[in-house]
């Protein structure tokens, strides 16, 4: 979702709302920020998680050597 509004100064301000802060949401925000050299975009990220985004694919490699039996919940 995005909106465009005109500020009292006459400059255009745009807001983009990103739902979810997983890998895709995080990379989208990074890409938008790197291209937004005039700070035109205000970014709002909505996420259920309280922690910052992390590489879930990389996490699989990191914990791959752990004893899965010891991590089982049932």
Domain coordinates in residue numbering, the chain: 2-65
Distance CA 2, CA 29 (A): 13
Contact assessment for residue 4 and residue 34, using Cβ atoms and an 8 Å cutoff:
no
Indicate the DSSP class of residue 47: -
Whether pTM exceeds 0.85? no
Question: Which stretch of DSSP H or E encloses residue 19?
Answer: strand 12-19
In the prediction, which pLDDT does 9 show? 61
In the prediction, which pLDDT does 7 show? 59
Q: Enumerate the β-bridge partners of residue 12.
A: 6
- Give the residue, 35 or 69, on which the prediction is more confident: 35
Q: How confident is the model over 21-64, as pLDDT tens digits?
A: 888 999 999 999 999 998 899 999 999 988 888 777 777 787 77
In the prediction, which pLDDT does 15 show? 95
């Amino acid at each position: 979702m995005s909106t465009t509004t005109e500020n009292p100064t006459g400059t255009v301000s745009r807001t983009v709302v990103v739902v979810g802060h997983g890998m895709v949401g995080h990379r989208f925000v990074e890409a938008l920020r790197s291209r937004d050299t005039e700070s035109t975009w205000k970014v709002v990220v909505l996420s259920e998680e309280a922690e910052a985004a992390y590489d879930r694919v990389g996490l699989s490699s990191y914990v791959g050597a752990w004893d899965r039996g010891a991590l089982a919940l049932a």
